[in-house]
Structure 1
Amino acid sequence: MAQNNSLVLYDVHEAVDVCSNVGCVKTKATPSRLLFAGFMAGAYIAFGFIFAIVASASFHPELGTFPNLSLFKLLLGAVFPVGLIAVLLGGADLWTGNAHI
């Protein structure tokens, strides 16, 4: 039987503590901070979308100079997450991540 020596960054209790601390900080944010964070998240998502379109436009079957629908879709899917990564790194907040029932 093989032993699992993988590195664990957080155990369950530490992960709950980290997530609850982040949540506590978000509850104390001012409305202007929330509005600004929402606008910045929208800007980052729009940047990722425009970047994906620019990166893949030349492979569109009807518009591009090198028609390849598969490569077009692959590049769209591969480049669009740049906007989501920018949201995380920039500290912005998407409404979908903060909506509660």
Structure 2
Amino acid sequence: MGTKFTLAAGLTVGVLLGSKLGPKPYETFASGMRWLRNTRVVSRPIEAAADHASGLVRSKGEELTDRAASSVYRTIVGAGQEPLIVEARVTTAEIPSTTD
């Protein structure tokens, strides 16, 4: 509860000060933050965290997709029955030319 209140109070103060000071101090602050974000000390950990999060989402996403597909299959087919095996063959087909 205390963290939410602190966040709301900080946001309120920021909005009030931003509206009183105008766009010039905001642009100065924003350009400073962009510069800081582009420094190697800050950008490397951010990029490493983003790569880690991306890999985690990818691996967990596949796992969750497989779980959901299995659950839907069990619901449709019924629990305890043998799995349905579908055989697929890929063939090539020639598309006739429309020019004479």
Q: TM-score, normalised by structure 1?
A: 0.36
Q: If you compute each CA radius of gyration, which structure gives the higher value, 1 or 2?
A: 2
Q: TM-score, normalised by structure 2?
A: 0.36
- Structure (1/2) with the larger helix percentage: 2
